[in-house]
């Protein structure tokens, strides 16, 4: 073996990944020294430890790593001083920025990432400088920290540039095909085939093979799982129920356990198909799709006995430990067991443990509504909508007054064609049972609004404002409703309240007027002019947690161009389409120079289906995964009563506003379905909600967009794809009127 001893540097948030990797690779004869900032003495850095270690290095770089002084201090010169040709494997791992619960990928492929970390360390330095002397307990230690942070602020850009110049790999690339990349980079590729043969399963769950065999016995493929989950229930119990557990004699017990068996089998079946799913966080379906389902447990109107009961939101590990002790000491403590299950339900790796707790609750109390509702939420998370409906219905059979079950059932039924009235009935019941929960009223109001019940929707949204007066987005919705109802005075009143006041930000630091706002302005230090070029940093560019690829149609003017500007400012990648190629390239250059935006222009006419299909199909691989489609292209052509209308104008509007939207959606949405994630935003109009004289065909096309948005939402929701629309009124700074009157500026 050429290189068998490695040192691994990482931030403590990536400890689970580091230990998992090393546990796998030690089976091939490798040894590892794990080193993170948590292992250091006060004042020590990882670089100091690394200076004394000549072993090959595996460096795990995450957002947390680049924002931790102990991790990055003096790291650049230490890496540069290592022997040329010495093995260094640099892996970009996910991080948890700003204490987020959901991981985000770490990327260094754009200049914006460098600026993000430069700004971060400059801000840290400025904040430390603003602390008053009378608030500092250790002046000498504080001065040392300031000097260290200042030095990091100077060096972080060069460190990231150095990392960018090296060959870096994603975590998925490192672990793919039984760590083939690691074997190759370490010079041990000849051992890889033996490792694969001897260790076919590397998952943490030692019972994985047994669970795969079990799920394969129950279901042959995903289609069978989806169908059988809603078939007639059998009398047999799940094999996952422990053999020595006493069974309830209740007549409904078999059904409940059989429902549970099908959910477990379905989940295990997903693991069978994607054994490394835990490591794949590119699919953010769980984050987007589960937020609504989770929310109805976060404000449980039936508080439990434990310290922070009733919340699905992850709680500190000591609370889980406390609940586990309660359950261990009293296995029949149903409230504690339910709270523990609610916590565990947040993390997919605890799926089996969650369902086992819920199964035990149903054994002790076969009519426990909250257990059924939690199972409904889990089913919805794994796209088992029919099974979720059955669980919520079981919860309501047990307790018709359990508000969260009404809410969960109503939310699912909203996505099913023909079930809108039933959904609204359940949401109405939920708001009656949970009158002090703003999100319940908001869900109810949105359902009413989507189905044209404007006055009732306004009343529901007003209730949201009573509970949460700062919701400007709700005020905007009420203003829009009054506008549609023709009450312009109330519309203006509510719209006025949505105008943002100057933001007052409390940083938590003492007030100190006239304090410098840039490092260059601080007179305490001499700084080379070329060290940090703040004037080169676009102050308005914001790096998003995840860079999205967004396709905007009709981007050459008006709303499309303004949307591109905003999204570029937010740091996303843009595919810009339009008919006027010169304008597309001008916009591309503008966004590149102002924000450093990656753009891909496509000049074509969306009214031509074959061309539209081919353009999307021909996108380069790096641009083919569209995260968000904004169907913006649209126009009004002519303004005449129906008996005088120009047929060519009608065809132009129908071909662009309806057919163009359909062609583009048909070309892009299959990729979203395959990836099980995505979002489609249709730009509609107030003309799609209320007609006006001589606007006949234009209004009809926008009413069609409204209908398409609703039906697309129902079609695509099961695949984790969100569909929405924006309905603006007349916007002055566009070419809308110029196009409508065929270039006649006088009209």
CA 623, CA 103: separation in Å to the nearest integer?
A: 23
Phi/psi at 602 (5° precision): -130, 115
- Please compute Rg for the chain using Cα positions: 29
The answer to whether the beta carbons of residues 658 and 701 sit under 8 Å apart is yes
Q: What's the rounded Cα separation, in Å, for the pair 627 and 678? A: 5
Q: Are 475 and 498 in contact (CB under 8 A)?
A: yes
Q: Six-digit token pair at 620?
A: 């380069």
Q: Which residues are the active-site residues?
A: 698
- Looking up tokens 């102050």 gives 539
> Could you tell me the two tokens for 714?
């129902």
Strand partners, 578: 603
DSSP, collapsed to helix, strand or coil, labels residue 120 as helix
Neighbours of 237 (CB within 10 A): 18
Cα–Cα distance for residue pair 128/134, rounded to 1 Å: 13
Residue ranges with strand state E in 124-244: 168-170
Rounded to whole angstroms, the Cα distance separating 72 from 159 reads: 8
- Please give the structure tokens belonging to residue 285: 């379906």
- 3-state SS assignment for residue 601: strand
DSSP E strands, 38-103: 57-61, 88-92
Exposure class string for 708-736: b at 16+ Cβ within 10 A, else e: bbbebbbebbbbbbbbebebeeeeeebeb
Sign of CA dihedral 415, 416, 417, 422: negative
């Amino acid at each position: 073996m050429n290189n068998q001893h490695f040192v691994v540097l990482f931030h403590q948030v990536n400890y689970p990944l580091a230990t998992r990797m090393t546990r796998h690779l030690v089976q091939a004869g490798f040894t590892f020294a794990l080193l993170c900032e948590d292992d250091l003495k006060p004042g020590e850095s990882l670089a100091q430890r690394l200076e004394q270690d000549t072993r090959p290095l595996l460096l795990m770089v995450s957002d947390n790593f680049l924002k931790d002084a102990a991790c990055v201090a003096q790291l650049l010169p230490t890496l540069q001083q290592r022997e040329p040709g010495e093995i260094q494997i640099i892996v970009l791992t996910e991080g948890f920025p700003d204490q987020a619960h959901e991981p985000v990928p770490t990327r260094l492929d754009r200049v914006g990432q460098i600026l993000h970390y430069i700004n971060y360390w400059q801000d840290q330095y400025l904040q430390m400088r603003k602390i008053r002397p009378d608030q500092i307990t250790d002046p000498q230690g504080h001065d040392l920290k300031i000097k260290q942070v200042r030095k990091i602020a100077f060096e972080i850009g060069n460190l990231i540039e150095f990392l960018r110049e090296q060959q870096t790999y994603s975590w998925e690339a490192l672990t793919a095909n039984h760590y083939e990349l690691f074997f190759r980079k370490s010079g041990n590729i000849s051992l890889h085939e033996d490792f694969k043969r001897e260790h076919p399963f590397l998952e943490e769950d030692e019972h994985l093979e047994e669970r795969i065999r079990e799920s394969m016995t129950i279901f042959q493929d995903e289609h069978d799982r989806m169908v059988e989950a809603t078939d007639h229930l059998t009398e047999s119990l799940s094999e996952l129920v422990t053999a020595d557990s006493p069974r309830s004699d209740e007549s409904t017990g078999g059904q409940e356990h059989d429902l549970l068996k099908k959910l477990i089998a379905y989940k295990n079946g997903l693991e069978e198909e994607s054994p490394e799913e835990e490591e794949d966080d590119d699919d953010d379906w769980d984050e987007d799709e589960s937020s609504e389902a989770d929310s109805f447990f976060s404000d449980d109107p039936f508080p439990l006995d434990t310290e922070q009961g009733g919340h699905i939101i992850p709680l500190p590990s000591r609370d889980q430990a406390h609940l586990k002790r309660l359950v261990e000491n009293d296995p029949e403590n149903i409230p504690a067991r339910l709270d523990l299950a609610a916590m565990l339900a947040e993390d997919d790796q605890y799926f089996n443990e969650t369902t086992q707790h819920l199964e035990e609750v149903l054994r002790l109390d076969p009519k426990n509504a909250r257990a059924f509702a939690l199972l409904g939420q889990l089913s919805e998370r794994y796209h088992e909508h029919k099974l979720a409906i059955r669980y919520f219905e079981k919860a309501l059979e047990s307790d018709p007054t359990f508000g969260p079950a009404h809410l969960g059932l109503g939310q699912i039924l909203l996505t099913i064609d023909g079930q809108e009235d039933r959904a609204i009935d359940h949401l109405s019941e939920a708001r009656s049972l949970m009158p002090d929960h703003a999100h319940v009223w908001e869900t109810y109001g949105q359902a009413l609004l989507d189905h044209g019940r404007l006055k009732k929707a306004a009343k529901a949204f007003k209730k949201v404002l009573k509970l949460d007066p700062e919701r400007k987005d709700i005020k905007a919705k009420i203003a829009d409703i009054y506008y549609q109802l023709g009450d312009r005075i109330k519309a203006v009143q509510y719209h006025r309240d949505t105008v943002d006041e100057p933001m007052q930000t409390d940083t938590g630091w003492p007030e100190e007027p006239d304090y410098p706002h840039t490092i260059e302005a601080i007179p305490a230090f001499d700084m080379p002019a070329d060290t940090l070029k703040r004037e080169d940093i676009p102050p308005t560019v914001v790096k998003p947690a995840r860079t999205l690829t967004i396709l905007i149609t009709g981007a050459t003017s008006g709303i499309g161009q303004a949307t591109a500007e905003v999204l570029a400012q937010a740091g996303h990648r843009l595919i810009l389409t339009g008919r006027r190629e010169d304008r597309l390239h001008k916009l591309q250059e503008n966004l590149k120079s102002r924000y450093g935006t990656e753009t891909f222009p496509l000049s074509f006419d969306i009214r031509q289906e074959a061309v539209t299909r081919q353009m999307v199909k021909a996108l380069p691989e790096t641009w083919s995964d569209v995260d968000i489609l904004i169907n913006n292209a649209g126009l009004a052509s002519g303004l005449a009563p129906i008996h005088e209308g120009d047929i060519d104008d009608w065809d132009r509007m129908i071909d662009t506003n309806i057919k163009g939207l359909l062609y583009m959606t048909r070309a892009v949405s299959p990729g979203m379905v395959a990836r099980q994630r995505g979002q489609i935003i249709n730009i509609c109009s107030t003309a799609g909600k209320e007609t006006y004289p001589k606007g006949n065909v234009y209004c009809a096309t926008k009413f069609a967009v409204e209908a398409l948005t609703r039906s697309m939402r129902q079609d695509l929701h099961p695949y984790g794809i969100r569909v929405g629309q924006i309905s603006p009124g007349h916007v002055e700074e566009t070419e809308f009127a110029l196009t409508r009157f065929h270039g006649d500026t006088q009209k």
